[in-house]
A and B are shown apart, each in its own frame.
Chain A
Amino acid sequence: DTEVTQTPKHLVMGMTNKKSLKCEQHMGHRAMYWYKQKAKKPPELMFVYSYEKLSINESVPSRFSPECPNSSLLNLHLHALQPEDSALYLCASSQQPPGTVNYEQYFGPGTRLTVT
C-alpha cells in the first residue's frame, strides 16, 4: 500500500468556523508533511513531523495548528481562517525524515479548501 489518503476532498468554511483536515498513511513512514498550494503556484512546505514530533514550522500563522496523534495520522486544525487561506492542502509522507539519505515523499490527493 503506497497510498496517502486525505479527508475531506473539499471543504468550505466560514471565517469563524473551526475545522480539521485529516491525513493517513499505512506505509510505516516516520515523517509526515503539510504543504499549501495556491492556484497555479507550486506547493509550499508548512510543517514537518519526524517520529511524531514537530520538527519544522515554516513560520505558519497560528490559525493553522498541526497535530500528529500517532505515526499513521496527521491532522491540520483550522480556526479563524481568512479568504486568502483558500488553497489546496497537501499531505505527504516519507520513509524517514530528511537527512543523510533523502527518501522520496508520497503525496496525498489534497483537500481543496475554500474560506468564505
Chain B
Amino acid sequence: DAKTTQPPSMDCAEGRAANLPCNHSTISGNEYVYWYRQIHSQGPQYIIHGLKNNETNEMASLIITEDRKSSTLILPHATLRDTAVYYCIAYGGATNKLIFGTGTLLAVQP
C-alpha cells in the first residue's frame, strides 16, 4: 500500500474552513484515498473516501488532484468538536489493509 505524508499539526479558527493536505505520490491505480479522524480517547471515525473524482458528504469534501498524487480534506466550517487527529490512508492494492500513518493533529481555536 502507498505511504502517505501529512503535516504533523495544523491550527484552524472556529468557523473557518480547515484544509488538510495529504501526499500519496506512490499511490497505485486501485488504491482509494480514505480519511478517518480520531478524537481524543475515542475510536477512529470514517470521514470520506475517493478514487479519482472529488467527493462530498455531510462531513467534508475530498479534493484529489488529477494525477492522484495528493489530496485535500476540507472541513467547510470547523468547530471545536473537529479537534482531532486526521488520518489520510491509501487503502486497497495488494495488501488491502487499513494502515494508519502518523496523521495530522488539527486544533480548532475559538
Chain A residues close to B by CB (< 8 Å): 4, 33, 42-45, 48, 56, 88, 90, 92, 98-99, 102, 104-110
Contacts and interface: CB of A to CB of B under 8 A. Distances in A.
Interface of B: 32, 34, 38, 41-46, 49, 87, 91-92, 96-103
6 interchain residue pairs of minimum CB distance: A107-B43, A98-B96, A42-B100, A104-B46, A107-B44, A109-B43
B85 to A, nearest CB: 8
A45 B32 contact: no
Given A102-B32, A102-B92, A45 B99 contact: yes
Contacts of B96: 98-99, 102
Contacts of B43: 4, 90, 92, 107-110
B7 to A, nearest CB: 15
Nearest to B32: A102
Given A42-B100, A42-B102, A107-B44, 19 more contacts: A4-B43, A33-B98, A42-B103, A43-B38, A43-B100, A90-B43, A90-B44, A98-B91, A98-B92, A98-B96, A102-B32, A102-B91, A102-B96, A104-B34, A104-B49, A105-B46, A105-B98, A106-B46, A110-B43
A92 B45 CA distance: 10
